[in-house]
């Protein structure tokens, strides 16, 4: 089915997620010792698509792509930074949130993907604070409305200028008939711990809250007169820097641009290859192990920089996932394959485990955690195919555990001299990569009997064949040469015959067993409701609030509660 989407402003036919500071149009980063300052200065004419202006520091996906890049570079290129100060470069305006013209004219698919990426980027602020010792102070110098306040909510500390006009607001319900869908409602109650009735008042008030009430209601941490603002910001930055556990040993590494070669149906990175079968609605991703041994020391890793295999592979996989999500809407399933020696993968995992206290080893592990979470949140059927010559070991075994279905080949193929299919677990599978529910994928998989996790741990470092992997519950099916092709073909044909909408809902519900966290609520509850509302006529119909905003015409609502 054809999808009508605005034209990209740069004339390209695909959204690109790779950028660097030389190409930023919306953010200005400066670093002085342990303190980094990030100024939001959105270029009004720098929208990702044609047809709207990004006024009042409003944002679209292009603004957030740059923001995600800033956060990534702070973690890898500036290990000495211990606090980030987030501010606006515009006078008396912090951020007006997501651009309404952009939302009103976007396809449903783009709205969903935009909000998902924005949520992942907001989560990255909190991940950097909790696990990298890089907290954020947000300084609100004017109006912070909707997504602008949601951006502030991702920070550890919010300072609001007390000048009679600066305010915070979540006006989406009264103005647009949608929700503060990029974490706003959830962070309000679960993070800021705003009382439920006050949150109700706040979220149905167009003009927002300012001054003492903003502090009393826990919407901000402190209010400061304009005359004292710079002094207080400097003091808070110093306090947070002093309290940061982030170690500043060594220098950072440059996140050099990824090398990528694209043809109509193939994308080739150094360690990832993507084959697109648009007729069959399949994307095949092959992850390649390094053919080299790990370096001897972390100093050698720093010298290798972004070319270090685990880091480069994580960045390439992340880029490939985002590309499929945002540019290949008709793809029904992502088939994961791997190639290389499991022993090499395990050796790199052991190296990172042995140096886990080093800042760079820690950041590489944390990047893998975020990439795997992005895979969890991707609305495509995830399939792992463990074939002869595969290297699903350690970190790469997480792909199997993240898959909706996993198939493992029994024995050898006739005429194939590659090693029989084996998988292997490493220490990282038991702690390093929690999901959004706070559990590891093994813990989530074996909720019924935690002893099964220990059974798997007993095989730590061993190469496990198909029958044993199935016995341990690590894969879905073990298939021999006779059944392999037919079983997988029938499965994929069946998958393609189902409604994509129902599959998205099915997979999103089955992937996240176990407890809820603030992060899981944002995706599973807030986002789900927002995506439903994004298709309702009260918001997006011809007489809906999102369509009529700014026209002078009042929206016409269907009064029926559903």
CB contact set of 87 (below 8 Å; sequence gap of 6+): 37, 38, 39, 40, 138, 139, 141
Beta strands in 346-414 (DSSP E): 381-386, 405-409
Residue 518 lies in a domain: no
pLDDT tens digits, residue range 470-491?
Answer: 999 999 999 999 999 999 999 9
Residue 117 predicted with pLDDT over 90: yes
Confidence of residue 413 (pLDDT cuts 50, 70, 90): confident
Residue 233 is predicted with a pLDDT of 99
Q: Comparing 27-41, 234-248, 275-289, which segment has the lowest mean pLDDT?
A: 234-248
Confidence of residue 505 (pLDDT cuts 50, 70, 90): very high
Mark whether 227 and 284 lie in a shared domain: no
Residue 321 is predicted with a pLDDT of 98
List the strands of the sheet with 93-95, edge to edge.
93-95, 143-145, 167-169
Residue 12 lies in a domain: no
Residue 343 is predicted with a pLDDT of 98
Q: Are 503 and 168 in contact (CB under 8 A)?
A: no
Helix axes 61-77, 359-376, angle to 10 degrees: 150
Instruction: Quote the CA–CA distance of 148 and 164 in Å, as a whole number.
Output: 19
Q: Comparing 33-37, 104-108, 275-279, which segment has the lowest mean pLDDT?
A: 104-108
Average pLDDT for residues 443-467, to the nearest whole number?
97
Residue 185 lies in a domain: yes
Residue 4 predicted with pLDDT over 70: no
Residue 214 is predicted with a pLDDT of 98
CATH number at residue 110: 3.90.226.10
Residue 559 lies in a domain: no
Residue 2 is predicted with a pLDDT of 42
pLDDT tens digits, residue range 185-233?
Answer: 999 999 999 999 999 999 999 999 999 999 999 999 999 999 999 999 9
Q: How many domains does the chain have?
A: 2
Residue 119 is predicted with a pLDDT of 96
Last residue of a domain, one of 479, 507, 535: 507
Q: Which domain holds residue 171?
A: 21-242
Residue 1 is predicted with a pLDDT of 38
Residue 85 predicted with pLDDT over 80: yes
Mark whether 281 and 237 lie in a shared domain: no
Mark whether 303 and 451 lie in a shared domain: yes
pLDDT tens digits, residue range 519-530?
Answer: 999 999 999 999
Mark whether 481 and 425 lie in a shared domain: yes
pLDDT tens digits, residue range 15-29?
Answer: 999 999 999 999 999
| Tokens, residue 260 | 């990528």
Average pLDDT for residues 521-550, to the nearest whole number?
92
| Residues noted as catalytic | 150, 172
Last residue of a domain, one of 242, 277, 294: 242
Average pLDDT for residues 345-353, to the nearest whole number?
99
Mark whether 338 and 457 lie in a shared domain: yes
Residue 387 lies in a domain: yes
Residue 80 lies in a domain: yes
Mark whether 345 and 486 lie in a shared domain: yes
- pLDDT, mean over the chain: 96
Mark whether 282 and 208 lie in a shared domain: no
Residue 534 lies in a domain: no
Residue 429 is predicted with a pLDDT of 99
Mark whether 373 and 225 lie in a shared domain: no
Mark whether 202 and 272 lie in a shared domain: no
Instruction: Quote the CA–CA distance of 52 and 59 in Å, as a whole number.
Output: 11
Mark whether 72 and 186 lie in a shared domain: yes
Mark whether 189 and 287 lie in a shared domain: no
Q: What is the pTM of this model?
A: 0.96
Instruction: Quote the CA–CA distance of 108 and 339 in Å, as a whole number.
Output: 37
Average pLDDT for residues 80-98, to the nearest whole number?
97
Last residue of a domain, one of 211, 242, 273: 242
Mark whether 307 and 185 lie in a shared domain: no
Phi then psi dihedrals of residue 522, to 5 deg: -60, -45
Residue 415 is predicted with a pLDDT of 84
Residue 199 lies in a domain: yes
């Amino acid at each position: 089915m054809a999808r009508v989407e605005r034209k990209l402003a740069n004339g390209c036919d695909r959204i690109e997620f790779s950028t660097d500071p030389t190409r930023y149009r919306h953010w200005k980063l400066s670093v002085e010792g342990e303190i980094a300052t990030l100024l939001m200065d959105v270029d009004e004419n720098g929208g990702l698509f044609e047809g709207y202006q990004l006024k009042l520091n409003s944002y679209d996906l292009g603004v957030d792509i740059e923001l995600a890049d800033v956060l990534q570079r702070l973690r890898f290129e500036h290990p000495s930074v211990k606090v980030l100060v987030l501010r606006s470069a515009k006078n008396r305006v912090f951020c007006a949130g997501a651009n309404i013209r952009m939302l009103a004219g976007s396809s449903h698919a783009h709205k969903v993907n935009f909000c998902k990426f924005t949520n992942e980027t907001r989560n990255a602020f909190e991940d950097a604070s909790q696990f990298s010792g890089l907290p954020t102070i947000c300084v609100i110098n004017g109006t912070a409305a909707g997504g602008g306040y949601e951006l502030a909510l991702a920070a550890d500390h919010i300072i609001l200028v007390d000048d009679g006009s600066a305010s915070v607001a979540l006006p989406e319900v009264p103005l647009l008939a949608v929700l503060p869908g990029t974490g706003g409602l959830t962070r309000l109650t679960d993070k800021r711990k705003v009382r439920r009735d006050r949150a109700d008042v706040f979220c149905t008030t167009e003009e927002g809250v300012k001054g003492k009430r903003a502090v009393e209601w826990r919407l901000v941490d402190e209010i400061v007169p304009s005359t004292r603002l710079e002094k207080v910001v400097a003091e808070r930055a110093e306090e947070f820097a002093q309290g940061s556990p982030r170690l500043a040993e060594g220098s950072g590494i440059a996140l050099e641009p990824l090398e990528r070669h694209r043809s109509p149906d193939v994308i080739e990175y150094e360690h990832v290859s993507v084959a697109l079968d648009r007729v069959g609605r399949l994307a095949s991703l092959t992850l390649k192990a390094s053919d080299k041994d790990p370096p001897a020391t972390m100093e050698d890793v720093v010298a290798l920089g972004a070319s270090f295999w685990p880091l480069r592979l994580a960045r390439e996989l992340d880029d490939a996932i985002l590309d499929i999500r945002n540019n290949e809407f008709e793809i029904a399933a992502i088939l994961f394959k791997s190639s290389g020696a499991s022993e090499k993968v395990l050796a790199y995992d052991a190296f990172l485990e042995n140096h886990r206290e080093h800042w760079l080893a820690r950041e590489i592990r944390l990047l893998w955690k975020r990439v795997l979470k992005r895979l969890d949140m991707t609305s495509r059927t995830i399939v792992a195919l463990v074939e002869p010559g595969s290297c699903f070991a350690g970190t790469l075994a997480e792909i199997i555990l993240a898959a909706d279905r996993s198939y493992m080949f029994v024995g050898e193929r006739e005429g194939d001299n590659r090693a029989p299919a084996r998988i292997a677990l490493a220490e990282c599978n038991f702690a390093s990569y929690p999901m959004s529910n706070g559990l590891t994928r093994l813990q989530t998989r074996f909720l019924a009997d935690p002893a099964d996790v220990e059974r798997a741990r007993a095989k730590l470092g061993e190469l496990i064949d198909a029958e044993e992997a199935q016995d341990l519950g690590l894969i879905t099916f073990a298939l021999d040469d006779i059944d392999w092709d037919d079983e997988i073909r029938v499965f994929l044909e069946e998958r393609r015959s189902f409604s994509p909408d129902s599959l998205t809902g099915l997979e999103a519900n089955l992937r996240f067993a176990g407890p809820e966290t603030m992060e899981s609520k944002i995706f599973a509850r807030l986002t789900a409701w927002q995506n439903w509302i994004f298709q309702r006529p009260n918001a997006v119909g011809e007489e809906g609030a999102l369509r009529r905003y700014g026209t002078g015409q009042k929206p016409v609502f269907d009064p029926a509660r559903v």
